[in-house]
């Protein structure tokens, strides 16, 4: 078919992807007017359907492909000739929406056009904290059920004034069908509360500013939940926040008033800058610039990385109009529980932490944390799937007729749903194991069922019987089965890239339940979508004291020493690990080690990082997960690339020789941190060489280490090496991997 005849004067177009709630239909309308096209555009369960008639269909289609709105994502565009018809103009038809192929629209940061309006004293939305349009504002966080229409969002409580209604109904307005549209006359209102929930008289923003300037802590309602905020330059304020929140040293994210301000505190590269200033404005973990400014040293003690972001709601911007210092902005929650979304929760559970609450009456329906990313080798490494990225919808190549719900892991919990033509990965829920987190987990399951109007017939979960997510699956009277944790990591990466061929997978993680009941975590596997074979793993070592060893790297370091040296040799050794104990403690632990008392074996690379962090004298006891790796990262010198020695026999990786070399380096931190990363790389290269015909796929929390990831991108380059970029590289993607397995396997052959 020639181009002319294909682009006939009458075509029917179906567009799929993120095409709802993003101004897609008015965009189509405007392009239709420009190219004198007649016909209509309409939202349907299949996607956006366009019927176009006119001489310039080809240019019209080209414009659709090239100029679509910033928040939209086109997954596919089907074009076919249709019968000609006599339309007098182009119209936007009412939706015939059901629940189907359309992705859930995502929240986005304040756009430039709205920003300009709110800065303009002549505009009727001058300094309006809830300004938004089809390009920006809340979406997922305010949706009760799709389709995305105002009546099914928390904006239904606000009746549009005549002026807003006119914009809403005008296809040429950039607020045409902007569902959260409002103005000072008809929209939500700010209030300021004290920590008992009593409303304070006066200008809410001024009250918040005053408290922040006094070094106090406020809770501020953002898009997906509350932030706790305080002056990031004040040691007193940050120390108070840490003390009150019982958060000793886990790094806190910092929000800057502007890019200019941000750049005087941290150094960022162009790729980082594009994400920091883009339309989502996630938290980006960047290098802390040590020699400069006055951020409190308590923000991220002992590490050289800092989570930074820019104001993303109009309310944030208004706050920074009167504040010239950066603000700590951390999710309002208790440890790793879900973020809080109601001021009553703050009053009930965090009254001892905050001095005041900047609240408003636009209800958050779906809690949503900020997304956290970092850049390694110029690529995104997703650390937390949140605002602007979640829920993440993938179009399936082969639609599924069976609805499958995957329940994920335990830490960094998230769920995934496979339904019709889509796989949908939920936002970060939090760590399970508390009433609040488990409750929020179940609510997310309900939300997903409601969003897609589906009752899953198959549940998939982690093999670990004690995970709350596994327990949930077992209580449901549905077909269900478990999938090995590290295999799920590899599958998650395959899912992101749509791979179904055989791959060489490296699942480097903390501890996870292995098929043999031991604690895996340093697995090398040959896998496809049906099964995996474990072809390599770290030689298991004892976690002395079980869970205690996970908090105390010195216990793992000691266990590695016991594997090589006698008790007497260890007692007389000069090593930071040994010095972290009293001699009688070492004797007790040696007894546990030799008699195998509360000393479960693990092959986890994450735990090996901890052990090296202890042996190298970086840290002996942890305040938060991953701290050992992060503290070592600060010392990595990329010009030091000689690996330590190790042996691999029948796929079992023995690092005894490395441990000896580390001891002999006598605490040279740069050498130890840098050469350890080279060792990990070299181990991977060994297997990559053995299976040189297979693509390399990675997954697991260890790859959150930016220095390691940068080196891997350098070493393995393009073409063969696959690492997740859109979905979390950590346990936040386990559900996606589980789902990908289930969609490729029927019950009969779930051989894993």
Q: How far is the CB of 135 from Zn ion (least distance, A)?
A: 5
Q: How far is the CB of 311 from Zn ion (least distance, A)?
A: 14
> Does 570 sit near Zn ion (CB under 5 A)?
no
Residue 299 backbone dihedrals phi, psi, to 5 degrees: -65, -50
Q: How far is the CB of 388 from Zn ion (least distance, A)?
A: 14
Cβ nearer to Zn ion, comparing 135 with 661: 135
Residue 709 backbone dihedrals phi, psi, to 5 degrees: -60, -40
How far is Cα of residue 492 from the mean position of the Cα atoms in its chain?
A: 14
Residues 6 or more apart whose CB falls under 8 angstroms from that of 316 comprise 220, 222, 255
Q: Return the residue of 61, 72, 136, 488 that touches Zn ion, per CB under 5 A.
A: 136
Q: How far is the CB of 722 from Zn ion (least distance, A)?
A: 36
Cα 230 from Cα 329, distance rounded (Å): 7
Size of the site for Zn ion (CB under 5 A): 10
Cβ nearer to Zn ion, comparing 161 with 641: 161
Cβ nearer to Zn ion, comparing 187 with 251: 187
Residue 529 backbone dihedrals phi, psi, to 5 degrees: -75, -5
Neighbouring CB atoms inside 10 A of 446's CB total 9
Q: Tell me the window of 4-12, 158-166, 522-530, 586-594 that interacts with Zn ion (CB under 5 A).
A: 158-166
Cβ nearer to Zn ion, comparing 166 with 203: 166
Q: Return the residue of 37, 103, 104, 114 that touches Zn ion, per CB under 5 A.
A: 114
Residue 234 backbone dihedrals phi, psi, to 5 degrees: -105, 115
Is 310 within 8 Å of 256 (Cβ atoms)? Answer: yes
Q: How far is the CB of 204 from Zn ion (least distance, A)?
A: 19
Q: Tell me the window of 181-189, 209-217, 250-258, 676-684 that interacts with Zn ion (CB under 5 A).
A: 181-189
Q: Return the residue of 133, 310, 631, 694 that touches Zn ion, per CB under 5 A.
A: 133
Q: How far is the CB of 486 from Zn ion (least distance, A)?
A: 43
405: tokens are 């719900």
Cα dist. 218→223, 226, 294, 351, 546 in Å? 16, 10, 21, 10, 39
Neighbouring CB atoms inside 10 A of 746's CB total 9
Q: Tell me the window of 179-187, 350-358, 673-681, 728-736 that interacts with Zn ion (CB under 5 A).
A: 179-187
Is 240 within 8 Å of 228 (Cβ atoms)? Answer: no
Cβ nearer to Zn ion, comparing 114 with 367: 114
Q: Which one, of 401, 397, 380, 402, lies nearest residue 389 by Cα?
A: 380
Q: Tell me the window of 14-22, 126-134, 214-222, 363-371 that interacts with Zn ion (CB under 5 A).
A: 126-134
Q: Return the residue of 11, 109, 142, 183 that touches Zn ion, per CB under 5 A.
A: 183
Q: How far is the CB of 312 from Zn ion (least distance, A)?
A: 12
Q: How far is the CB of 113 from Zn ion (least distance, A)?
A: 5
Cβ nearer to Zn ion, comparing 135 with 336: 135
Long-range contacts of residues 678-683, Cβ cutoff 8 Å, at least 24 apart:
678/640, 678/641, 678/642, 678/643, 678/644, 678/711, 679/643, 679/644, 679/646, 679/655, 680/508, 680/605, 680/708, 681/643, 681/708, 681/711, 681/712, 681/715, 682/643, 682/646, 683/646, 683/648, 683/653
567: tokens are 């008790």
Q: How far is the CB of 361 from Zn ion (least distance, A)?
A: 15
Cβ nearer to Zn ion, comparing 16 with 125: 125
Cβ nearer to Zn ion, comparing 135 with 523: 135
Cis peptide before 391 (omega within 30 of 0): yes
Cβ nearer to Zn ion, comparing 164 with 742: 164
Q: How far is the CB of 21 from Zn ion (least distance, A)?
A: 13
Residues 6 or more apart whose CB falls under 8 angstroms from that of 54 comprise 9, 35, 36, 37, 38, 39, 60
Q: How far is the CB of 17 from Zn ion (least distance, A)?
A: 20
Q: Tell me the window of 113-121, 277-285, 634-642, 699-707 that interacts with Zn ion (CB under 5 A).
A: 113-121
Residue 751 in 3-state DSSP?
coil
- Residues pairing with 193 in the sheet: 199, 357
Q: Return the residue of 164, 493, 696, 729 that touches Zn ion, per CB under 5 A.
A: 164
Q: Return the residue of 186, 395, 454, 640 that touches Zn ion, per CB under 5 A.
A: 186
Q: Tell me the window of 6-14, 127-135, 608-616, 642-650 that interacts with Zn ion (CB under 5 A).
A: 127-135
Cβ nearer to Zn ion, comparing 136 with 417: 136
Window 212-241: contact mask with Zn ion (x via CB under 5 A): ------------------------------
Residue 513 in 3-state DSSP?
strand
Q: Return the residue of 70, 74, 77, 161 that touches Zn ion, per CB under 5 A.
A: 161
Cβ nearer to Zn ion, comparing 161 with 567: 161
Cβ nearer to Zn ion, comparing 128 with 740: 128
Q: How far is the CB of 188 from Zn ion (least distance, A)?
A: 11
Q: Tell me the window of 156-164, 278-286, 709-717, 729-737 that interacts with Zn ion (CB under 5 A).
A: 156-164
Residue 591 in 3-state DSSP?
helix
Cβ nearer to Zn ion, comparing 178 with 209: 178
Cβ nearer to Zn ion, comparing 41 with 164: 164
Q: Which pairing describes strands 601-602 and 541-542: parallel, antiparallel, or unpaired? A: antiparallel
Cα 564 from Cα 570, distance rounded (Å): 9
- Interface positions, 425-444, toward Zn ion (CB under 5 A): none
Helix (H) or strand (E) holding 57: helix 57-66
Q: How far is the CB of 638 from Zn ion (least distance, A)?
A: 41
Cis peptide before 301 (omega within 30 of 0): no
Is 527 within 8 Å of 722 (Cβ atoms)? Answer: no
Q: How far is the CB of 116 from Zn ion (least distance, A)?
A: 9
How far is Cα of residue 145 from the mean position of the Cα atoms in its chain?
A: 23
> Where along the sequence are the contacts to Zn ion (CB under 5 A)?
111, 114, 133, 135-136, 161, 164, 183, 185-186
């Amino acid at each position: 078919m020639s181009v002319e005849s294909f682009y006939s004067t009458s075509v029917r177009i179906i567009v799929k992807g993120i095409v709802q709630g993003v101004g897609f239909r008015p965009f189509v309308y405007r392009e239709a007017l420009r190219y004198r096209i007649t016909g209509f555009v309409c939202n349907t369960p299949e996607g956006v359907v366009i019927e176009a008639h006119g001489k310039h269909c080809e240019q019209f289609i080209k414009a659709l492909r090239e100029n679509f709105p910033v928040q939209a994502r086109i997954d596919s565009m089907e074009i076919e000739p249709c019968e000609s018809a006599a339309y007098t103009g182009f119209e936007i038809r009412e939706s015939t929406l059901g629940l189907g192929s359309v992705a859930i629209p995502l929240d986005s940061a304040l756009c430039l056009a709205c920003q300009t309006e709110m800065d303009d004293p002549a505009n009727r939305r001058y300094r309006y904290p809830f300004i938004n349009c089809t390009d920006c504002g809340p979406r997922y966080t305010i949706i009760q059920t799709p389709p995305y229409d105002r009546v099914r969002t928390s904006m239904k409580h606000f009746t549009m004034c005549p002026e807003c209604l006119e914009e809403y109904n005008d296809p040429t307005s950039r607020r045409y069908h902007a569902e959260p549209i409002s103005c000072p006359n008809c929209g939500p209102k700010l209030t300021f509360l004290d920590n008992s929930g009593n409303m304070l008289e006066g200008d809410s923003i001024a009250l918040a500013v005053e408290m922040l300037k006094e070094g106090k802590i406020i809770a501020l309602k953002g898009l997906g939940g509350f932030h706790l905020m305080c002056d990031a330059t004040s040691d007193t304020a940050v120390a108070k926040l840490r003390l009150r929140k019982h958060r000793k040293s886990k790094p806190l994210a910092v929000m800057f008033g502007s890019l200019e301000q941000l750049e005087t505190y941290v150094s960022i590269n162009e790729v980082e800058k594009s994400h920091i200033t883009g339309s989502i404005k996630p938290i980006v973990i960047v290098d802390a610039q040590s020699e400069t400014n006055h951020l409190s040293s308590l923000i991220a003690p002992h590490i050289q990385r800092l989570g930074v972001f820019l104001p993303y709601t109009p309310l944030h911007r208004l706050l920074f109009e009167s504040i010239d210092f950066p603000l700590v902005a951390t999710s309002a929650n208790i440890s790793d529980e879900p973020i809080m979304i109601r001021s009553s929760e703050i009053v009930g559970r965090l009254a001892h932490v905050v001095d005041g609450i900047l609240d408003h009456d636009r209800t958050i329906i779906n809690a949503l944390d900020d997304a956290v990313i970092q850049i390694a080798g110029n690529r995104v490494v997703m650390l937390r799937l949140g605002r602007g990225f979640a829920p993440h919808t993938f179009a399936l190549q082969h639609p599924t007729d069976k609805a499958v719900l995957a329940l994920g892991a335990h830490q960094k919990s998230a769920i995934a749903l496979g339904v019709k033509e889509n796989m949908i990965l939920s936002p970060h829920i939090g760590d399970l194991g508390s009433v609040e987190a488990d409750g929020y987990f179940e609510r997310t399951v309900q939300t997903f069922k409601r969003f897609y109007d589906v009752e899953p017939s198959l549940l998939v979960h982690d093999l670990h019987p004690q995970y709350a997510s596994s327990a949930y699956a077992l209580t449901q009277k549905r077909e269900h089965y478990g999938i090995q944790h590290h295999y799920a990591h590899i599958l998650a990466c395959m899912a992101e890239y749509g791979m179904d061929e055989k791959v060489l997978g490296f699942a480097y993680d903390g501890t996870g339940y292995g098929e043999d009941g031991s604690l895996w975590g340093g697995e090398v596997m040959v896998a496809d979508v049906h099964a995996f074979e474990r072809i390599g793993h770290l030689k298991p070592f004892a976690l002395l004291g079980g869970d205690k060893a996970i908090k105390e790297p010195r216990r793992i370091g000691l266990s590695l020493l016991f594997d090589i040296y006698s008790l007497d040799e260890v007692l007389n050794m000069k090593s930071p690990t040994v010095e972290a104990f009293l001699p009688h403690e070492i004797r007790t632990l040696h007894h546990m080690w030799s008699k195998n008392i509360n000393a479960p074996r693990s092959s986890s690379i994450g735990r090996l990082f901890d052990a090296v962090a202890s042996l190298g004298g970086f840290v002996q006891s942890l305040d938060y997960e991953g701290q050992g790796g992060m503290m070592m990262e600060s010392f990595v010198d990329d010009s030091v690339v000689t690996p330590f020695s190790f042996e691999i026999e029948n796929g079992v990786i023995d690092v005894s020789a490395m441990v000896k070399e580390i001891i002999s380096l006598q605490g040279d931190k740069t050498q130890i941190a840098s050469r350890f990363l080279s060792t990990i790389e070299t181990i991977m290269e060994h297997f990559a060489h053995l299976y040189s015909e297979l693509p390399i796929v990675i997954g697991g929390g260890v790859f959150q280490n930016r220095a390691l990831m940068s080196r891997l991108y350098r070493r393995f380059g393009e073409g063969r090496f696959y690492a997740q970029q859109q979905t979390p590289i950590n346990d936040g993607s386990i559900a996606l991997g589980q789902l990908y397995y289930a969609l490729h396997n029927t019950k009969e052959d779930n051989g894993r």
